[in-house]
Amino acid sequence: MSSVLRLGVRVTGLVACLGAVAACSGDESSEGAGGSGGSGGAAPTGDLVGDVLRYDYGFDLATGQATSRLTVGVVTGGDCFVVPSDLEPASASFGGAPAVVTRDAPTGALRLCGAPVAGGAELVIDTAELVPEGTFLGLDVGFSRQPDLAGGTFSYLLSWVGGCDHFGPCDDAPGRLAAFGFDVTHAPGTTVLCPGVRTAESGATHCELDGVLAPTYSAFALAADPAWVAAPFTTGAGVAVSFYEAPGGELASSLSPADVAAFLGWITSVLGPFPYGSELRVAGGPTSWLGFEHPSNIVLYESLPSLTGPYADPTRHVLMHEIIHQWAGDRTTLASAADFVWKEATAEYLAYVYEDEHGPAGEADATRAYWDAASQQSAHYPRPTDDPLPAVEDFYGDVYGPGPMVLYQQLEALVGRPAVLAGIADFLAEPGARSVEELRAALEAASGADLGPYFAAWVFGSGAPVWPSFVIGTSEVGGDVTVTLTQAGPVVFPCAVEVDVSGLAQTATAVVDFGTAPSSPSASVTVTLGEPLVTSTVDPRHRVIGAGSAFAKAAPIPVWRH
Ligand SMILES: [Zn+2]
């Protein structure tokens, strides 16, 4: 409510004319009609409909002075363009002439107006603004300077979902993909990383991201540090990996070049060639997240190597996670904030598969156990359907455990890992914006299974998730043990649950399979143990959320976000 009042004041108080006075007629009588679309020969008026095709962003790292150029592909003509911006432009032009700038009453977005532009044309909007230092949401989102581990200054301009308008006019919808150009001026000796193909010289760095597009939440970003030392690390699948760390940083030294190269070989065999050129830069910084997936730049928390948990090898896991995001989150992005889960689940799961198939014994088991434990404290369903949807910052932390469990890991027991991997590869095969519903369709196509009941039970929902609970029963005939699991709640969850049955000498694993469309709350299976049953353990390897009792009363654990 307070923001509505604030915006109402701004609209009446700010009918700013920026630039040459001669262009400022102040005549907005044609606004609000929605635009004529350029039909009938009349000049189109009102808010045009179009997408920002490209952002060219100039930034002075020392002063925060920025210039924004938006190239808009106009679909339906008009003489105004509405775009979010937290900042008030000091100057603005619309199609090369000074713009009339106001605020849109319902949204608070900038409305920039000028000469009419027809549908099918490209419109260039230029603004200049000052980006203040400051962060949002208690995260690194915003523009910040922080001391790195060597006492240098790590500068970070970070958008995240819905956040690129902190830095000027920017369409912050997560499903938008655009090209980007960055021109950063900075002190000689400072290393600046920006997404795409990077060209650096003393005092100036340019980056160009074109061809394969990227979303604003990851690509509208800069990171810089005068203390960084650039070091080539390895080359894998045609991608040259280099590290940027302050002296004393241990990210690169804690990783194996051969292993990272092998991972690049594996992930490109699953998802295709690296989307963003032939260079991958990995930088360390004092970040609040463990990592972030800027296209062709990955920023990692500089103290990852000294973490104990939540993964067996946090540096390796998080690096793999962020590399996977280059396909899952960057080249292919979220249809909406509500679909946040799939990009994190995909990055987590594929890192896990590599751990399981190529890592040391126990590595993948530790990842699964962490996911299961984190799932116990989720306050939202993986794909929340709450109306209104909670703010992304309020629910995104709940996806890191249950996301990979319900979207992928639990499905392995029902449809097999090859079908899960094929579904992911198909889902990510083309650039664009994707929803959880589209992921379900891709997994169904790859597996041949109807996953409607599964997704209804595990994935979609409002409020706090209710995971299944199981009552176990056993009976013995000779050396055979029959294990029966009964789900207690109103929803019968599609799943297959492992139960270890043990005698004094032997252990056998029973897989109690409810199938993808359970018709009964109970399911049974008989296994041969060959001796009297002493103990039985439900879901000892954490393959189904809620199945084992080990975490039911566990203390909350920190959930790591990346
Ligand atoms: Zn992530």
Ligand 1 centroid to residue 124 C-alpha, Å: 33
Least confident of 11-20, 135-144, 351-360: 11-20
Which residue stretches of 359-409 are H helix?
Answer: 363-375, 392-395, 402-404
pLDDT of residue 265: 98
Ligand 1 centroid to residue 332 C-alpha, Å: 13
Ligand 1 centroid to residue 5 C-alpha, Å: 36
Ligand 1 centroid to residue 550 C-alpha, Å: 27
Q: Judge whether residue 24 has pLDDT over 70.
A: no
Ligand 1 centroid to residue 290 C-alpha, Å: 9
Q: Judge whether residue 524 has pLDDT over 70.
A: yes
pLDDT of residue 553: 52
- Encoding tokens for residue 252? 């690169």
Ligand 1 centroid to residue 321 C-alpha, Å: 6
Closest to 52 in 3D by CA, of 241, 205, 216, 178 = 178
Domains of the chain and CATH, by start: 2-130 (2.60.40), 134-325 (3.30.2010.30), 335-461 (1.10.390), 470-538 (no CATH)
Instruction: Using pLDDT thresholds of 50, 70 and 90, give the confidence band for residue 546.
Output: confident
Cβ–Cβ under 8 Å, residues 493 and 448:
no
Ligand 1 centroid to residue 324 C-alpha, Å: 9
Per residue, what are the HEC states of 303-371? CHHHCCCCCCCHHHHHHHHHHHHCCECCCEEECCHHHHHHHHHHHHHHHHHHHHHHCCCCHHHHHHHHH
Q: Judge whether residue 27 has pLDDT over 60.
A: no
On the 0-12 / 13-18 / 19+ scale of CB atoms within 10 A, 128 is middle
Least confident of 24-28, 109-113, 301-305, 514-518: 24-28
Q: Judge whether residue 11 has pLDDT over 50.
A: no
Ligand 1 centroid to residue 392 C-alpha, Å: 14
pLDDT of residue 35: 40
Which DSSP state fits 47? B
